[in-house]
Amino acid sequence: QQQVKQSPQSLIVQKGGISIINCAYENTAFDYFPWYQQFPGKGPALLIAIRPDVSEKKEGRFTISFNKSAKQFSLHIMDSQPGDSATYFCAATYSGTYKYIFGTGTRLKVLA
């Protein structure tokens, strides 16, 4: 119940294309869902986050879509750029847990 399932494991997209990464969870207590971006040799950094009271959140080229009834959420990267090539992690948490449950990560490669 504490798992967050993430797919795909790896993704190759052409420059200018749309990258889509999906996550699913079981624990309905989760109420905060951040996405983290990690470049090689660096720590993860927050990209965008959403709470389940909204169905979509957009920041620049990055959009989270959230489906509360399906317990799924996804990250869309529009106009993908080579500089977006990184590993992306979805995560989930809820008040009082003092931890993020991370998905297994998606390695994104954007071809120039």
Site residues (vs other proteins, CB under 8 A): 31-32, 34, 36, 38, 41-46, 49, 51, 87, 89, 93-102, 104-105, 107
The residue (of 83 and 96) whose beta carbon lies closer to other proteins is: 96
Sign of the alpha-carbon dihedral angle for 78, 67, 21, 60? positive
Q: Which is nearer to other proteins, 80 or 93 (CB)?
A: 93
Min dist CB 70 to other proteins, Å, is: 22
How far out from the chain centre does Cα 11 lie? 13
- How near is the Cβ of 98 to other proteins at its closest, in Å? 4
What is the total residue count of the chain?
112
State the Cα–Cα distance between residues 5 and 90, nearest whole angstrom: 9
